[in-house]
Homo-oligomer: A and B are copies of this chain.
Amino acid sequence: MQRTDVNTLGEFGLIEHLTKDFPIRQPSTIKGVGDDAAVIDNGGLCTVVSTDMLVEGIHFDLAYVPLKHLGYKSVVVNLSDIYAMNAFPRQITVSIAISNRYSVEALDELYAGIRAACDAYGVDLVGGDTSSSPRGMIISITAIGQCEKEKLVYRSGARPGDLICITGDLGGAYLGLQLLEREKRIWQENPDVQPDLESQKYAVGRQLKPEARKDMIETFRKDGLKPTAMIDISDGLASDLFHICKQSKVGALVEESGVPIHQEAQLLALKFKLDPITCALNGGEDYELLFTIDPTDVDKVKYLPDIYIAGEILEAKDGIKLNTKGGNLHDLKAQGWVHF
């Protein structure tokens, strides 16, 4: 029997391969696989569903991630997918599997973080499952949101001429991870050395306690702005822009000078001898929003804080390019995070 290694397909290739033969036959299924979330129309408001699984040793390292932060982040990354549909999360389910090395007190910490996220974003915990695992911890969260059908924003709606917008700033979460990994190595080599993370609070915070952009979706509603396409930046700007371009069948031009990078992230990148723009393009885990708007809507975002216009949607034939500060045009590459 043939044996094809899963690495050969990559995460997105594998999902595409595994799900390609599944038909959609329910009239209530508005959107299936291939966006930030699925959309279901049972009459009334649409139900928006997204799910994520986090595995110890792959997605998180309890050597430096406090359980409370892990609980908080596990919820936030799922809510981010709901906001990226221009929808509001309302409920979550949480399933966990744990080995017997975890105590009830450890789980209490995890759930305190989950509860803090529920409080901060106003969502209800409505179900889940707990079981044991032979090793490590696995967390699977499903977020459920609601949205008027006509207000939903998909990855597929970008058109040539649309402006590319980014909220917040990028690269910080990736650099925070580099820092935590470095401190872990130092600590493993010499357990007497205490980590020095105080001076890099910003980047560490971006990694350990990210927030989803609820505020942005509220602002869009208030200002009557509907993006033409949207995705949350979980895999890095480049990879997530590729998703929009692929689904919308368009190309894109990103201006390096328009990509927002926090000053502390800039400095930290240099410390690690990394190019800040590479961290912003390929770092991931910032959970900011990448969206496109019709150029006639530019006045609606121009004066809003924390939104940056970083480029323009092109025809598909023009490819996906980065215009560097030095004035050179490069092909953008979607490296993202590879978990396999």
List the interface of chain A (C-beta within 8 A of B).
1-9, 11, 14-15, 17-19, 21-26, 28-29, 31-33, 37-38, 40-47, 49-53, 55-59, 90-91, 93, 95-98, 100, 102-105, 107-108, 111, 115, 118, 122-136, 138, 140, 142, 144, 146, 339-340
Asked if A138 contacts B135 (CB within 8 A), the reply is no
Query: Contacts A9-B104, A95-B140 hold; do A40 and B90 have CB atoms under 8 A apart?
Result: yes
Asked if A104 contacts B4 (CB within 8 A), the reply is yes
The contact of A58 among B18, B134, B340, by CB within 8 Å, is B134
Integer count of this chain's copies in the complex: 2
A50, B128: Cα distance in complex, Å:
7
- Measured between beta carbons, the chain B residues less than 8 angstroms from A5 are 100, 103-104
Asked if B130 contacts A11 (CB within 8 A), the reply is yes
Asked if B26 contacts A123 (CB within 8 A), the reply is yes
- Measured between beta carbons, the chain B residues less than 8 angstroms from A31 are 126
A126, B40: Cα distance in complex, Å:
9
Asked if B58 contacts A6 (CB within 8 A), the reply is no
Task: A31-B126, A42-B44, A59-B131 are known; give 18 further A-B pairs, CB within 8 A.
Answer: A14-B107, A15-B128, A15-B129, A19-B125, A19-B128, A22-B124, A24-B124, A24-B126, A44-B45, A49-B93, A49-B126, A49-B142, A53-B131, A55-B131, A93-B142, A131-B339, A131-B340, A134-B135
Smallest Cβ-Cβ distance to A2: which chain B residue: B105
Asked if B90 contacts A128 (CB within 8 A), the reply is no
Asked if A22 contacts B129 (CB within 8 A), the reply is no
- Measured between beta carbons, the chain B residues less than 8 angstroms from A95 are 51-53, 140
Asked if A122 contacts B58 (CB within 8 A), the reply is no
- Measured between beta carbons, the chain B residues less than 8 angstroms from A104 are 4-6, 8-9, 14, 17
- Measured between beta carbons, the chain B residues less than 8 angstroms from A105 are 1-4
Asked if B6 contacts A98 (CB within 8 A), the reply is yes
- Measured between beta carbons, the chain B residues less than 8 angstroms from A58 are 97, 131-134
Query: Contacts A21-B115, A90-B28, A97-B53 hold; do A3 and B38 have CB atoms under 8 A apart?
Result: no
A339, B105: Cα distance in complex, Å:
19
- Measured between beta carbons, the chain B residues less than 8 angstroms from A91 are 26, 28-29, 38, 40, 49
Please give the distance in Å from A31's CB to the nearest CB on chain B: 7
Asked if B14 contacts A130 (CB within 8 A), the reply is yes
A25, B124: Cα distance in complex, Å:
7
| A3, A6, A127 interface centre (most CB from chain B within 10 Å) | A127
- Measured between beta carbons, the chain B residues less than 8 angstroms from A26 are 90-91, 122-124
